[in-house]
Chains A and B, each alone.
Chain A
Amino acid sequence: MKNRWLFSLQLGFTLLVCAFLIVPVILSILAGLTVNYLVGIESGLTLRWVYAVWDGYRDTIFLSIGLSLACLVVTLLIGIPTAYVLAKRQSGLTRAIEELLVMPVAVPGLATALALIVTYGSLSGFRTSWAFILVGHVLFTLPFMVRSVLAVLMAIDLKTLEEGAASLGAGFIDRFRDIVLPNCRTGILAGSLMVVTLSMGEFNMTWLLHTPFNKTLPVGLADAYASLRLEIGSAYTLVFFLMIVPLLLALQAFAQPRQTKFVAEDDHHD
């Protein structure tokens, strides 16, 4: 009897936390589709605000998509080889390299952005181009790609696989393409989703790195929140949700395949 009571108490608490996280999301989606949020839903539903966002902030959406894809390409090109090296050689030196690579995540984006500005701010062609933002995004997302691929490489017996292939006469390029890459497919995919999602939402650095002609989606959001009516801010947020949710769902499906299995098996536990 006491256990039932404890269970209900914890369930109630958890539902409350869920409400805290989800209610504002629902409110914001509603506000983005309501004619006048102050009057309420009775004022009618409209797509007017979504159109207004499309007209005013279309460029930020395309820039963010372009940036996140460019960021993905760069992190794949320099991240996978790095993960491979870290998996092959495990020494104090490679651990230190891994530690260093994670620093841009540990250090506030504001500090990294300021450092980039004081160093490269005078190269005006670079400073004003979107490549400047890209550099920040790559610094911030690279550790996620490296760790994700590294985790998979550590779980397989890379050495035996490579030695086997080498004894059959496969050169390094062939081994890398036919053994290493296919084996760390899941790590690459999970890392890629992470990189694109993070790049799409990065604000801390981007706010200092951007120029008025290079606004990303989160920068546009900050703009809209500060200067436009609540409905437009909400509609803009709605657009952001629509872009980020598919990525998140894919990420969740990847991160916890065991989780769902566990739930299905253990349904009658309580």
Chain B
Amino acid sequence: MRRETQRLILLLLPAGIFFAGFFLIPMAELFVIGGSGKTGWSAYAAILTDKNYFNSLLATLAVASATTVVTLIISGISGVFLQRHKFPGNAALVAMLTFPLAFPGVVIGFMVIMLAGRQGLIGQITEFVTGDKVVFAYSMAGLFMGYVYFSVPRTILTVMAAAEKLDPKLEEAARSLGASPMRVVRDVIIPGLKPAFISAGAICFATAVGAFGTAFTLATRINVLPMVIYTEFTLSANIAMAAALSFVLGAVTWVVLAIARTAAGSTVAAAG
């Protein structure tokens, strides 16, 4: 038995060394460097005390929350629909909805430009119909659109997997007792999907808070935290501030995901 334990430790060693050397130590270093700038350890409070940083924190949280809510609504409706109704073409629709799953943020940004950019489809249509060209790709609205585009494929898969496990008998029972479709959705389907909504929503939120590629493609002056960190690091060469801000950003996303995991887990346990 002792020999087996030794063997298991040996097997864990390569990943352990790699992870310690290239993640744990660098993260600790990042934390220390964050406190080594002109302002010292108060750099970590700057995200709350400095008006500019605080505003971009608020903007980041706002766009991430909006993305999460809209994505959950879209994926909830389409995911449950596609899971419940199997019709010819269903598989093709699922394939299309999950196709952009592996697009990197930069490509997502380009997709937004194709839709809402200067030469985009929305601009052409609105120019044709009203004479005014609507272009919103290079702003917060464009970023929001990109994050929804990015999040729908992931979320819809989670919702479909959860909807498959819902018991249709519960809905039938509710309906036979006279519940309207709205009530069935509110009292049966949404509570049943709650764990999936929490975990998918948390991933949605965390990715939108930390994503960088989409904002980078659309416009460097979009005022969200990842862009601020990037500007501090490259243009201002303020490495300490960039380190402090990115450490805080990392901590925020990690905590959101951890809380959601606990919440989703306990709901599952309660339901079971």
Across-interface contacts of B129 in A (CB, < 8 A): none
Contact mask for chain B residues 91-130; partner A; CB cutoff 8 A; 1 contact, 0 none: 1011111111111111101111111000101000000000
Across-interface contacts of B97 in A (CB, < 8 A): 14, 17-18, 21
Q: Decide if B98 touches A252 in the complex (CB within 8 Å).
A: yes
Across-interface contacts of A242 in B (CB, < 8 A): none
* Of A21, A109, A112, most B-chain CB atoms within 10 Å: A21
Of A41-49, A53-61, A183-191, A201-209, the one contacting chain B is A201-209
Which of B91, B112, B152, B206 contacts A106 (CB under 8 A)? Answer: B206
Q: Decide if A139 touches B110 in the complex (CB within 8 Å).
A: no
Which of A7, A78, A118, A139 contacts B33 (CB under 8 A)? Answer: A118
Across-interface contacts of B22 in A (CB, < 8 A): 116, 135, 138-139
Asked whether A154 is an interface residue with its Cβ less than 8 Å from the other chain, the reply is: no
CB distance from A215 to the nearest CB of B (A): 12
Of B7-15, B50-58, B189-197, the one contacting chain A is B7-15
Interface of A is mostly: helix
Across-interface contacts of A142 in B (CB, < 8 A): 15, 19
- CB-contacts of A107-159 with B (<8 A): 107-112, 114-116, 118-120, 135, 138-139, 142, 146
Asked whether B230 is an interface residue with its Cβ less than 8 Å from the other chain, the reply is: yes
Knowing A108-B253, A109-B212, A112-B23 are in contact, say whether A218-B100 is a contact too (CB < 8 A): no
Knowing A110-B226, A115-B27 are in contact, say whether A269-B86 is a contact too (CB < 8 A): yes
Asked whether A24 is an interface residue with its Cβ less than 8 Å from the other chain, the reply is: yes
A140 to B191, CA, bound (A): 33
Q: Decide if A262 touches B86 in the complex (CB within 8 Å).
A: yes
Asked whether B178 is an interface residue with its Cβ less than 8 Å from the other chain, the reply is: no
Q: Decide if B30 touches A222 in the complex (CB within 8 Å).
A: no
CB distance from B247 to the nearest CB of A (A): 6
Across-interface contacts of B110 in A (CB, < 8 A): 28, 221, 225, 233-234, 237
Q: Decide if A108 touches B210 in the complex (CB within 8 Å).
A: yes
Q: Decide if A259 touches B91 in the complex (CB within 8 Å).
A: yes
A28 to B106, CA, bound (A): 14
Knowing A203-B106, A240-B107 are in contact, say whether A108-B181 is a contact too (CB < 8 A): no
* Of B82, B111, B114, B247, most A-chain CB atoms within 10 Å: B114
* Of A18, A81, A118, A266, most B-chain CB atoms within 10 Å: A118
Interface range on chain B (Cβ under 8 Å from partner): 35 or more
A10 to B85, CA, bound (A): 10
CB distance from A216 to the nearest CB of B (A): 10
Knowing A111-B247, A248-B99, A252-B98 are in contact, say whether A204-B11 is a contact too (CB < 8 A): no
Asked whether A177 is an interface residue with its Cβ less than 8 Å from the other chain, the reply is: no
Which of B11, B86, B226 contacts A85 (CB under 8 A)? Answer: B11
Across-interface contacts of A112 in B (CB, < 8 A): 23, 26-27, 250
Give the total of A residues in contact with B, Cβ under 8 Å: 85
- CB-contacts of A157-173 with B (<8 A): 172
Q: Decide if B26 touches A28 in the complex (CB within 8 Å).
A: no
Interface of B is mostly: helix
Contact mask for chain A residues 228-270; partner B; CB cutoff 8 A; 1 contact, 0 none: 0010011001001000100110011000000110110011011
Across-interface contacts of B98 in A (CB, < 8 A): 252
Across-interface contacts of B25 in A (CB, < 8 A): 119
Asked whether A63 is an interface residue with its Cβ less than 8 Å from the other chain, the reply is: no
Asked whether B41 is an interface residue with its Cβ less than 8 Å from the other chain, the reply is: no
Q: Decide if A204 touches B95 in the complex (CB within 8 Å).
A: no
Across-interface contacts of A221 in B (CB, < 8 A): 104, 106-107, 110
- CB-contacts of B27-56 with A (<8 A): 27, 29-30, 33
CB distance from A7 to the nearest CB of B (A): 7
Q: Decide if B210 touches A114 in the complex (CB within 8 Å).
A: no
Across-interface contacts of B85 in A (CB, < 8 A): 7, 10-11, 269-270
Q: Decide if B14 touches A263 in the complex (CB within 8 Å).
A: no
* Of B24, B29, B152, B239, most A-chain CB atoms within 10 Å: B29
Q: Decide if B253 touches A119 in the complex (CB within 8 Å).
A: no
CB distance from B70 to the nearest CB of A (A): 11
Binding site for B on A (CB under 8 A): 6-7, 10-11, 13-15, 17-18, 20-25, 27-28, 31, 37-38, 77-79, 81-82, 84-85, 88-89, 97, 100-101, 103-104, 106-112, 114-116, 118-120, 135, 138-139, 142, 146, 172, 197-198, 200-204, 207-208, 218, 221-222, 225-226, 230, 233-234, 237, 240, 244, 247-248, 251-252, 259-260, 262-263, 266-267, 269-270
20 A/B residue pairs, CB under 8 Å, sorted by A: A6-B181, A10-B81, A17-B74, A21-B99, A22-B96, A22-B99, A24-B114, A81-B15, A108-B249, A108-B250, A110-B230, A111-B210, A112-B23, A116-B26, A200-B102, A204-B210, A225-B106, A225-B217, A240-B107, A252-B98
